[in-house]
Structure 1
Amino acid sequence: MTNTETMKNPKLIPINGKVHKKVDSDLLGKAVAALVTHHQKKVDESEKLSLMGNDTIVQVQIGLELAPVRPSPKPIRVMIPHPIFQVGQENSDDDSLEEPEICLIVKEESKLWVQDMIRTHSEHMKHVKKVLGLESLRKKHAQFSQRRELLSKYNVFMADDRILPMLTKALGKEFFKAKKLPIPVRLTRKEALPFAIRNALNATYMSLSEGTCITVKAGSTAMSSSKLVQNIEAITENAVANLPRKWANIRSISIKTPNSVALPVY
Protein backbone atom coordinates (compact mmCIF):
# COMPACT_ATOMS: atom_id res chain seq x y z
CA MET A 1 0.00 0.00 0.00
CA THR A 2 1.29 3.45 -0.89
CA ASN A 3 1.97 6.32 1.54
CA THR A 4 -0.89 8.23 -0.10
CA GLU A 5 -3.34 5.42 0.68
CA THR A 6 -2.10 5.32 4.26
CA MET A 7 -2.70 9.06 4.68
CA LYS A 8 -6.24 8.73 3.34
CA ASN A 9 -7.02 5.92 5.79
CA PRO A 10 -6.15 7.08 9.34
CA LYS A 11 -6.92 3.65 10.80
CA LEU A 12 -4.02 2.15 8.84
CA ILE A 13 -0.76 2.47 10.75
CA PRO A 14 2.62 1.75 9.13
CA ILE A 15 4.86 -0.45 11.28
CA ASN A 16 8.25 -1.65 10.04
CA GLY A 17 7.29 -0.88 6.45
CA LYS A 18 3.96 -2.72 6.66
CA VAL A 19 0.46 -1.41 7.24
CA HIS A 20 -1.60 -2.79 10.11
CA LYS A 21 -5.18 -2.19 11.22
CA LYS A 22 -5.26 -1.56 14.94
CA VAL A 23 -8.97 -0.82 15.44
CA ASP A 24 -11.55 -2.37 13.14
CA SER A 25 -13.79 0.41 11.76
CA ASP A 26 -16.84 -1.84 11.38
CA LEU A 27 -16.58 -3.06 14.98
CA LEU A 28 -16.07 0.49 16.19
CA GLY A 29 -19.08 1.75 14.25
CA LYS A 30 -21.29 -0.96 15.75
CA ALA A 31 -20.00 -0.20 19.25
CA VAL A 32 -20.72 3.52 18.88
CA ALA A 33 -24.22 2.80 17.55
CA ALA A 34 -24.90 0.46 20.49
CA LEU A 35 -23.61 3.04 22.97
CA VAL A 36 -25.78 5.84 21.55
CA THR A 37 -28.85 3.54 21.42
CA HIS A 38 -28.29 2.47 25.05
CA HIS A 39 -28.00 6.08 26.17
CA GLN A 40 -31.15 7.13 24.30
CA LYS A 41 -33.06 4.23 25.83
CA LYS A 42 -32.02 5.35 29.31
CA VAL A 43 -33.11 8.91 28.50
CA ASP A 44 -36.49 7.71 27.23
CA GLU A 45 -37.01 5.61 30.36
CA SER A 46 -36.16 8.49 32.68
CA GLU A 47 -38.93 10.75 33.87
CA LYS A 48 -36.47 13.56 34.52
CA LEU A 49 -35.85 16.25 31.92
CA SER A 50 -32.54 18.02 32.36
CA LEU A 51 -32.48 21.76 31.68
CA MET A 52 -28.95 21.23 30.34
CA GLY A 53 -30.09 18.59 27.88
CA ASN A 54 -29.81 14.83 28.03
CA ASP A 55 -26.63 14.29 26.05
CA THR A 56 -23.62 12.76 27.75
CA ILE A 57 -19.93 12.41 27.04
CA VAL A 58 -18.39 9.47 25.20
CA GLN A 59 -15.04 8.28 26.49
CA VAL A 60 -12.21 6.10 25.21
CA GLN A 61 -10.67 3.86 27.86
CA ILE A 62 -7.15 2.64 27.19
CA GLY A 63 -5.94 -0.27 29.27
CA LEU A 64 -2.17 -0.54 29.68
CA GLU A 65 0.02 -3.56 30.31
CA LEU A 66 2.33 -1.49 32.52
CA ALA A 67 1.61 1.73 34.41
CA PRO A 68 3.61 4.82 33.34
CA VAL A 69 6.97 5.05 35.08
CA ARG A 70 6.66 8.84 35.27
CA PRO A 71 2.96 9.62 35.80
CA SER A 72 1.92 13.26 35.48
CA PRO A 73 -1.38 15.12 35.87
CA LYS A 74 -0.40 17.57 33.12
CA PRO A 75 -2.93 17.33 30.25
CA ILE A 76 -1.44 16.02 27.00
CA ARG A 77 -3.02 17.34 23.81
CA VAL A 78 -4.63 14.71 21.55
CA MET A 79 -5.68 15.98 18.14
CA ILE A 80 -9.14 15.03 16.84
CA PRO A 81 -10.92 15.96 13.59
CA HIS A 82 -14.14 17.18 15.22
CA PRO A 83 -14.14 19.56 18.24
CA ILE A 84 -16.03 18.43 21.31
CA PHE A 85 -17.38 21.92 21.95
CA GLN A 86 -19.32 24.31 19.75
CA VAL A 87 -16.47 26.57 18.66
CA GLY A 88 -17.70 28.20 15.46
CA GLN A 89 -17.18 27.40 11.79
CA GLU A 90 -15.39 24.11 12.52
CA ASN A 91 -18.62 22.51 13.72
CA SER A 92 -21.37 25.02 12.98
CA ASP A 93 -23.69 22.16 12.02
CA ASP A 94 -23.49 20.72 15.55
CA ASP A 95 -25.55 23.39 17.28
CA SER A 96 -26.54 20.96 20.03
CA LEU A 97 -22.96 20.79 21.30
CA GLU A 98 -22.07 22.57 24.52
CA GLU A 99 -20.43 25.98 24.18
CA PRO A 100 -17.13 26.35 26.04
CA GLU A 101 -17.02 28.77 28.95
CA ILE A 102 -13.35 29.21 29.76
CA CYS A 103 -11.65 30.34 32.94
CA LEU A 104 -8.08 31.34 31.99
CA ILE A 105 -5.58 31.37 34.87
CA VAL A 106 -2.58 33.64 34.35
CA LYS A 107 0.24 35.37 36.14
CA GLU A 108 -1.07 38.42 37.99
CA GLU A 109 1.01 40.76 35.80
CA SER A 110 -0.51 39.23 32.62
CA LYS A 111 -4.11 39.78 33.63
CA LEU A 112 -4.61 43.28 32.18
CA TRP A 113 -3.16 42.61 28.74
CA VAL A 114 -5.07 39.33 28.44
CA GLN A 115 -8.33 41.12 29.26
CA ASP A 116 -7.43 43.73 26.64
CA MET A 117 -6.86 40.94 24.09
CA ILE A 118 -10.33 39.60 24.81
CA ARG A 119 -11.84 43.01 24.08
CA THR A 120 -9.87 43.58 20.87
CA HIS A 121 -10.17 39.99 19.58
CA SER A 122 -13.68 39.23 20.78
CA GLU A 123 -14.50 37.01 17.79
CA HIS A 124 -11.64 34.62 18.54
CA MET A 125 -11.64 34.87 22.34
CA LYS A 126 -15.34 35.19 23.10
CA HIS A 127 -15.32 31.88 24.96
CA VAL A 128 -12.94 33.20 27.65
CA LYS A 129 -15.40 34.29 30.34
CA LYS A 130 -12.99 34.82 33.22
CA VAL A 131 -9.33 35.83 33.52
CA LEU A 132 -8.11 34.79 36.96
CA GLY A 133 -4.74 35.84 38.34
CA LEU A 134 -2.72 33.26 40.26
CA GLU A 135 -2.61 35.37 43.42
CA SER A 136 -6.36 36.02 43.17
CA LEU A 137 -6.89 32.27 42.91
CA ARG A 138 -4.86 31.68 46.06
CA LYS A 139 -6.50 34.45 48.08
CA LYS A 140 -10.12 34.46 46.89
CA HIS A 141 -10.51 30.72 46.39
CA ALA A 142 -8.60 29.39 49.36
CA GLN A 143 -11.58 27.58 50.90
CA PHE A 144 -12.98 24.30 49.62
CA SER A 145 -16.44 25.82 49.03
CA GLN A 146 -14.91 28.67 46.99
CA ARG A 147 -12.94 26.27 44.77
CA ARG A 148 -16.01 24.09 44.32
CA GLU A 149 -18.03 27.14 43.22
CA LEU A 150 -15.29 28.06 40.73
CA LEU A 151 -15.28 24.50 39.40
CA SER A 152 -19.03 24.58 38.78
CA LYS A 153 -19.02 27.95 36.97
CA TYR A 154 -16.87 26.98 33.96
CA ASN A 155 -16.65 23.86 31.81
CA VAL A 156 -13.09 24.52 30.57
CA PHE A 157 -10.04 25.70 32.48
CA MET A 158 -6.84 26.87 30.81
CA ALA A 159 -3.65 28.24 32.29
CA ASP A 160 -0.36 29.85 31.37
CA ASP A 161 1.93 26.84 30.97
CA ARG A 162 4.60 28.57 33.08
CA ILE A 163 2.45 28.46 36.23
CA LEU A 164 0.91 25.03 35.70
CA PRO A 165 3.05 23.30 38.39
CA MET A 166 1.83 25.87 40.95
CA LEU A 167 -1.84 25.07 40.35
CA THR A 168 -1.90 21.58 41.84
CA LYS A 169 -2.10 22.90 45.38
CA ALA A 170 -4.02 26.08 44.53
CA LEU A 171 -6.89 24.22 42.84
CA GLY A 172 -7.09 21.19 45.09
CA LYS A 173 -8.07 17.58 44.48
CA GLU A 174 -11.64 18.37 43.34
CA PHE A 175 -10.35 19.60 39.99
CA PHE A 176 -8.46 16.33 39.55
CA LYS A 177 -11.54 14.26 40.39
CA ALA A 178 -13.70 16.26 37.97
CA LYS A 179 -11.05 15.91 35.22
CA LYS A 180 -10.98 19.68 34.80
CA LEU A 181 -7.26 20.20 35.11
CA PRO A 182 -6.23 23.41 33.32
CA ILE A 183 -5.14 22.99 29.71
CA PRO A 184 -1.70 24.55 29.25
CA VAL A 185 -1.45 27.44 26.77
CA ARG A 186 1.54 29.62 25.91
CA LEU A 187 1.26 33.28 26.77
CA THR A 188 4.80 34.28 25.78
CA ARG A 189 3.62 35.57 22.39
CA LYS A 190 0.73 37.95 22.98
CA GLU A 191 -0.37 38.09 19.35
CA ALA A 192 -0.66 34.29 19.23
CA LEU A 193 -2.99 33.95 22.23
CA PRO A 194 -6.30 33.89 20.22
CA PHE A 195 -4.92 31.07 18.06
CA ALA A 196 -3.63 29.20 21.11
CA ILE A 197 -7.10 29.32 22.67
CA ARG A 198 -8.76 28.11 19.46
CA ASN A 199 -6.23 25.30 18.95
CA ALA A 200 -6.73 24.16 22.53
CA LEU A 201 -10.48 23.91 21.97
CA ASN A 202 -10.00 21.87 18.80
CA ALA A 203 -8.35 19.00 20.67
CA THR A 204 -9.05 16.60 23.51
CA TYR A 205 -6.71 15.72 26.39
CA MET A 206 -5.35 12.89 28.47
CA SER A 207 -3.14 12.57 31.53
CA LEU A 208 -0.68 9.82 32.45
CA SER A 209 -2.18 8.48 35.65
CA GLU A 210 -0.46 6.23 38.17
CA GLY A 211 -2.58 3.23 37.22
CA THR A 212 -3.07 1.18 34.07
CA CYS A 213 -6.25 2.89 32.82
CA ILE A 214 -6.29 6.13 30.81
CA THR A 215 -9.56 7.86 29.88
CA VAL A 216 -9.88 10.32 26.99
CA LYS A 217 -13.01 12.27 26.10
CA ALA A 218 -13.97 11.56 22.46
CA GLY A 219 -17.12 13.65 22.16
CA SER A 220 -20.73 13.46 23.21
CA THR A 221 -23.96 11.77 22.17
CA ALA A 222 -24.94 15.13 20.62
CA MET A 223 -22.47 14.39 17.81
CA SER A 224 -23.23 12.19 14.83
CA SER A 225 -22.05 8.58 15.05
CA SER A 226 -19.71 9.10 12.09
CA LYS A 227 -17.95 12.00 13.81
CA LEU A 228 -17.65 10.01 17.03
CA VAL A 229 -16.08 7.13 15.10
CA GLN A 230 -13.57 9.47 13.43
CA ASN A 231 -12.66 11.07 16.76
CA ILE A 232 -12.17 7.69 18.41
CA GLU A 233 -9.99 6.47 15.55
CA ALA A 234 -7.85 9.62 15.87
CA ILE A 235 -7.56 9.13 19.63
CA THR A 236 -6.44 5.51 19.28
CA GLU A 237 -3.58 6.75 17.09
CA ASN A 238 -2.63 10.06 18.64
CA ALA A 239 -3.06 9.10 22.30
CA VAL A 240 -1.15 5.83 21.92
CA ALA A 241 1.67 7.73 20.20
CA ASN A 242 2.17 9.65 23.48
CA LEU A 243 2.29 6.57 25.70
CA PRO A 244 5.43 4.76 26.85
CA ARG A 245 6.13 1.74 24.59
CA LYS A 246 3.16 2.83 22.44
CA TRP A 247 1.15 -0.12 21.00
CA ALA A 248 3.38 -2.65 22.75
CA ASN A 249 1.92 -1.41 26.05
CA ILE A 250 -1.76 -1.48 25.01
CA ARG A 251 -3.82 -4.25 26.62
CA SER A 252 -7.27 -3.07 25.52
CA ILE A 253 -9.30 -0.15 24.16
CA SER A 254 -12.97 0.34 25.03
CA ILE A 255 -15.60 3.05 24.66
CA LYS A 256 -18.23 4.03 27.18
CA THR A 257 -20.35 6.80 28.67
CA PRO A 258 -20.09 7.65 32.39
CA ASN A 259 -23.10 5.43 33.11
CA SER A 260 -22.61 2.53 30.70
CA VAL A 261 -20.52 -0.61 30.59
CA ALA A 262 -17.33 -0.45 28.55
CA LEU A 263 -17.60 -1.86 25.03
CA PRO A 264 -14.28 -3.32 23.81
CA VAL A 265 -13.05 -2.31 20.35
CA TYR A 266 -9.47 -3.58 20.61
Structure 2
Amino acid sequence: MSLQIDENKARKAFKALYKHEKTRQSDAIQWIWLMITTFNPIDLGKGKPTRILLKHAIQSADTQRCLFTKDPQRTYKDLLVSNKIKGIHKVISISKLKKDYTPEERQQLFDNYDVFMADQQILPLLPKILGRQWYKKRNAIKIASTGHNEMQAYENLMDSISSIVKNVPGGAKNIRALQIKSAESTSLPVYEAAVVDEENGEESEFDSEEEE
Protein backbone atom coordinates (compact mmCIF):
# COMPACT_ATOMS: atom_id res chain seq x y z
CA MET A 1 0.00 0.00 0.00
CA SER A 2 1.38 3.41 -0.98
CA LEU A 3 0.86 6.74 0.74
CA GLN A 4 -1.28 9.18 -1.25
CA ILE A 5 0.17 12.65 -0.77
CA ASP A 6 -1.93 15.65 -1.76
CA GLU A 7 0.72 17.43 -3.84
CA ASN A 8 -1.05 20.79 -3.73
CA LYS A 9 -1.31 20.64 0.06
CA ALA A 10 2.36 19.67 0.38
CA ARG A 11 3.49 22.54 -1.85
CA LYS A 12 1.41 25.00 0.19
CA ALA A 13 3.09 23.72 3.36
CA PHE A 14 6.56 24.38 1.93
CA LYS A 15 5.46 27.82 0.69
CA ALA A 16 4.27 28.71 4.20
CA LEU A 17 7.46 27.39 5.79
CA TYR A 18 9.74 29.36 3.47
CA LYS A 19 7.62 32.49 3.97
CA HIS A 20 8.09 32.09 7.72
CA GLU A 21 11.85 31.66 7.33
CA LYS A 22 12.10 34.87 5.29
CA THR A 23 10.50 36.83 8.15
CA ARG A 24 13.32 35.72 10.46
CA GLN A 25 15.75 37.88 8.47
CA SER A 26 18.60 35.49 9.14
CA ASP A 27 21.15 34.07 6.70
CA ALA A 28 21.65 30.98 8.86
CA ILE A 29 20.66 27.76 7.08
CA GLN A 30 17.89 25.85 8.87
CA TRP A 31 17.23 22.13 8.54
CA ILE A 32 13.78 21.07 7.35
CA TRP A 33 12.47 18.05 9.23
CA LEU A 34 9.73 15.60 8.31
CA MET A 35 7.78 14.69 11.45
CA ILE A 36 6.10 11.28 11.54
CA THR A 37 3.01 10.44 13.61
CA THR A 38 1.86 6.81 13.68
CA PHE A 39 -1.30 5.08 14.85
CA ASN A 40 0.73 2.50 16.78
CA PRO A 41 3.79 3.63 18.77
CA ILE A 42 7.16 2.76 17.25
CA ASP A 43 10.75 3.38 18.23
CA LEU A 44 12.67 4.77 15.25
CA GLY A 45 15.85 4.51 17.30
CA LYS A 46 15.83 0.73 17.00
CA GLY A 47 17.07 -1.31 14.08
CA LYS A 48 19.62 -0.46 11.43
CA PRO A 49 19.85 3.07 10.02
CA THR A 50 18.24 3.34 6.61
CA ARG A 51 19.60 5.32 3.71
CA ILE A 52 17.05 7.53 1.93
CA LEU A 53 17.98 8.58 -1.58
CA LEU A 54 17.11 12.21 -2.26
CA LYS A 55 17.18 14.13 -5.53
CA HIS A 56 18.87 17.12 -3.92
CA ALA A 57 21.77 16.41 -1.57
CA ILE A 58 21.49 17.64 2.00
CA GLN A 59 25.16 17.08 2.76
CA SER A 60 27.61 19.75 1.64
CA ALA A 61 31.33 19.74 0.95
CA ASP A 62 31.79 20.87 4.56
CA THR A 63 29.96 17.87 6.05
CA GLN A 64 32.22 16.07 8.53
CA ARG A 65 31.92 12.25 8.59
CA CYS A 66 33.19 9.72 11.12
CA LEU A 67 33.37 5.96 10.48
CA PHE A 68 33.29 3.28 13.21
CA THR A 69 34.87 -0.01 12.14
CA LYS A 70 35.78 -3.48 13.28
CA ASP A 71 39.37 -4.17 14.33
CA PRO A 72 42.01 -3.54 13.19
CA GLN A 73 41.50 0.14 12.46
CA ARG A 74 44.48 0.37 10.10
CA THR A 75 42.96 -2.20 7.71
CA TYR A 76 39.93 0.02 7.10
CA LYS A 77 41.98 3.19 6.76
CA ASP A 78 44.07 1.45 4.10
CA LEU A 79 40.93 0.22 2.31
CA LEU A 80 39.59 3.76 2.08
CA VAL A 81 42.88 4.93 0.57
CA SER A 82 43.27 2.01 -1.86
CA ASN A 83 39.68 2.37 -3.08
CA LYS A 84 40.06 6.16 -3.35
CA ILE A 85 37.08 6.77 -1.08
CA LYS A 86 36.97 10.39 0.01
CA GLY A 87 34.81 12.31 2.45
CA ILE A 88 35.57 10.17 5.54
CA HIS A 89 37.35 12.47 7.95
CA LYS A 90 37.92 10.13 10.89
CA VAL A 91 38.11 6.34 11.32
CA ILE A 92 37.79 4.75 14.77
CA SER A 93 37.80 1.03 15.53
CA ILE A 94 35.36 -0.41 18.05
CA SER A 95 38.16 -1.32 20.49
CA LYS A 96 39.71 2.17 20.38
CA LEU A 97 36.30 3.76 20.82
CA LYS A 98 35.69 1.61 23.88
CA LYS A 99 39.12 1.81 25.52
CA ASP A 100 40.68 5.10 24.45
CA TYR A 101 37.75 7.53 24.46
CA THR A 102 36.48 8.98 27.72
CA PRO A 103 32.79 10.01 27.99
CA GLU A 104 33.91 13.61 27.48
CA GLU A 105 35.85 12.70 24.33
CA ARG A 106 32.90 10.74 22.96
CA GLN A 107 30.73 13.80 23.54
CA GLN A 108 33.30 15.88 21.67
CA LEU A 109 33.04 13.44 18.75
CA PHE A 110 29.27 13.88 18.79
CA ASP A 111 29.65 17.65 18.65
CA ASN A 112 32.40 17.77 16.01
CA TYR A 113 30.99 15.47 13.32
CA ASP A 114 27.80 15.72 11.28
CA VAL A 115 27.46 12.13 10.04
CA PHE A 116 28.39 8.85 11.71
CA MET A 117 28.68 5.57 9.85
CA ALA A 118 29.45 2.06 11.10
CA ASP A 119 30.06 -1.48 9.93
CA GLN A 120 26.71 -3.25 10.37
CA GLN A 121 28.40 -6.04 12.35
CA ILE A 122 29.27 -3.66 15.17
CA LEU A 123 26.02 -1.68 15.19
CA PRO A 124 24.53 -3.68 18.12
CA LEU A 125 27.60 -2.82 20.25
CA LEU A 126 27.49 0.93 19.75
CA PRO A 127 24.53 2.04 21.92
CA LYS A 128 26.14 0.76 25.12
CA ILE A 129 29.51 2.31 24.26
CA LEU A 130 28.30 5.67 22.95
CA GLY A 131 25.56 6.37 25.49
CA ARG A 132 22.11 7.94 25.54
CA GLN A 133 23.01 11.26 23.90
CA TRP A 134 23.75 9.43 20.66
CA TYR A 135 20.51 7.47 20.64
CA LYS A 136 17.74 9.91 21.45
CA LYS A 137 14.33 8.74 20.28
CA ARG A 138 13.29 10.84 17.32
CA ASN A 139 10.24 10.74 15.08
CA ALA A 140 11.72 13.16 12.56
CA ILE A 141 13.81 12.83 9.41
CA LYS A 142 16.05 15.53 7.94
CA ILE A 143 14.91 15.93 4.31
CA ALA A 144 16.14 19.36 3.20
CA SER A 145 17.38 22.74 4.35
CA THR A 146 16.53 26.35 3.66
CA GLY A 147 19.58 26.30 1.41
CA HIS A 148 17.31 24.47 -1.05
CA ASN A 149 14.48 26.30 -2.79
CA GLU A 150 10.83 25.37 -2.21
CA MET A 151 10.62 23.01 -5.18
CA GLN A 152 13.82 21.18 -4.25
CA ALA A 153 12.60 20.68 -0.69
CA TYR A 154 9.24 19.45 -1.98
CA GLU A 155 10.95 17.01 -4.38
CA ASN A 156 13.05 15.64 -1.51
CA LEU A 157 9.87 15.06 0.49
CA MET A 158 8.33 13.09 -2.35
CA ASP A 159 11.55 11.09 -2.81
CA SER A 160 11.53 10.12 0.88
CA ILE A 161 7.96 8.76 1.02
CA SER A 162 8.59 5.28 -0.41
CA SER A 163 11.52 4.64 1.97
CA ILE A 164 9.46 5.82 4.93
CA VAL A 165 6.53 3.56 4.05
CA LYS A 166 8.92 0.63 3.58
CA ASN A 167 10.70 1.08 6.90
CA VAL A 168 7.97 2.21 9.31
CA PRO A 169 6.53 -0.89 11.01
CA GLY A 170 3.03 -1.43 9.60
CA GLY A 171 3.82 0.60 6.48
CA ALA A 172 1.35 3.14 5.09
CA LYS A 173 -1.51 1.83 7.24
CA ASN A 174 0.39 2.85 10.38
CA ILE A 175 1.21 6.39 9.24
CA ARG A 176 -1.26 8.82 10.75
CA ALA A 177 0.30 12.14 9.74
CA LEU A 178 3.36 13.72 8.17
CA GLN A 179 4.37 17.29 8.93
CA ILE A 180 7.30 19.51 7.99
CA LYS A 181 9.01 22.05 10.21
CA SER A 182 12.22 23.95 10.76
CA ALA A 183 13.78 24.58 14.15
CA GLU A 184 11.86 27.85 14.49
CA SER A 185 8.60 27.11 12.67
CA THR A 186 5.36 25.44 13.66
CA SER A 187 4.60 21.97 12.25
CA LEU A 188 2.86 22.13 8.87
CA PRO A 189 0.84 19.11 7.67
CA VAL A 190 1.64 17.47 4.33
CA TYR A 191 -0.36 14.28 4.93
CA GLU A 192 -3.21 13.30 7.25
CA ALA A 193 -4.78 9.86 7.21
CA ALA A 194 -8.53 9.48 6.87
CA VAL A 195 -9.88 8.16 10.17
CA VAL A 196 -13.16 6.24 10.23
CA ASP A 197 -15.69 7.50 12.76
CA GLU A 198 -16.91 4.20 14.23
CA GLU A 199 -20.13 5.82 15.49
CA ASN A 200 -21.51 6.76 12.08
CA GLY A 201 -19.09 5.06 9.70
CA GLU A 202 -17.93 8.32 8.15
CA GLU A 203 -14.35 9.19 7.28
CA SER A 204 -12.65 12.35 8.46
CA GLU A 205 -9.10 13.66 8.31
CA PHE A 206 -6.99 13.27 11.42
CA ASP A 207 -6.29 16.70 12.89
CA SER A 208 -2.54 16.58 13.51
CA GLU A 209 -2.51 19.90 15.35
CA GLU A 210 -4.28 18.30 18.28
CA GLU A 211 -1.19 16.15 18.86
CA GLU A 212 1.20 19.08 19.26
Same fold by TM-score greater than 0.5: yes
User: Equivalent residues in 2 for 1:16-31 (5 A)?
Assistant: 22-31=4-13
The runs of 4+ residues in structure 1 deviating greater than 4 Å are none
SS of match in other structure, 2:56: coil
SS of match in other structure, 1:128: coil
SS of match in other structure, 1:254: strand
Stretches of structure 2 that go unaligned for 5 or more consecutive residues are 192-212
Whole-angstrom CA distance in 1 between matches of 2:42 and 2:132: 21
For 1:99, the equivalent position in structure 2 comes to: 62
> 2:45–2:135: 8 Å Cα contact kept in structure 1?
no
Whole-angstrom CA distance in 2 between matches of 1:148 and 1:73: 22
For 1:155, the equivalent position in structure 2 comes to: 114
SS of match in other structure, 1:239: helix
Distance verdict in 2 for CA 1:69–1:216, change over 3 Å: closer
**Paired-residue identity, %:** 29
1:196-246 Cα deviation digits (max 9, x unpaired): xxxxxxxxxxxxx5xxx7211101111122111111112223201222222
User: Equivalent residues in 2 for 1:116-195 (5 A)?
Assistant: 116-122=78-84, 125-143=85-103, 145-177=104-136
- Of 76, 79, 96 in structure 2, the residue corresponding to residue 114 of structure 1 is 76
Kindly provide the amino acid, as one letter, of the partner of residue 239 in structure 1. Answer: I
- Of 174, 199, 203 in structure 2, the residue corresponding to residue 249 of structure 1 is 174
For 1:223, the equivalent position in structure 2 comes to: 148
> 1:61–1:214: 8 Å Cα contact kept in structure 2?
yes
Distance verdict in 2 for CA 1:230–1:157, change over 3 Å: same
1:91-126 Cα deviation digits (max 9, x unpaired): xxxxxxx632111011122x222212333344xx22
User: Equivalent residues in 2 for 1:21-60 (5 A)?
Assistant: 22-42=4-24, 44=25, 54-60=28-34
> 1:142–1:170: 8 Å Cα contact kept in structure 2?
no
Q: Is 2:52 the partner of 1:78? A: yes
Whole-angstrom CA distance in 2 between matches of 1:69 and 1:37: 33
Stretches of structure 1 that go unaligned for 5 or more consecutive residues are 1-14, 47-52, 87-97, 178-208
Distance verdict in 2 for CA 1:136–1:55, change over 3 Å: same
Q: What is the deviation of 1:160?
A: 0.7
Distance verdict in 2 for CA 1:71–1:172, change over 3 Å: closer
> 1:78–1:235: 8 Å Cα contact kept in structure 2?
yes
TM (norm. structure 1) is 0.65
Whole-angstrom CA distance in 2 between matches of 1:265 and 1:54: 25
Whole-angstrom CA distance in 2 between matches of 1:139 and 1:117: 23
Whole-angstrom CA distance in 2 between matches of 1:225 and 1:254: 15
> 1:218–1:235: 8 Å Cα contact kept in structure 2?
yes
Q: CA RMSD in A?
A: 2.3
TM (norm. structure 2) is 0.81
SS of match in other structure, 2:42: coil
For 2:42, the equivalent position in structure 1 comes to: 68
1:113-155 Cα deviation digits (max 9, x unpaired): 2212333344xx2210111011111122232x21111111211
Distance verdict in 2 for CA 1:73–1:241, change over 3 Å: closer
Length, aligned pairs only? 191
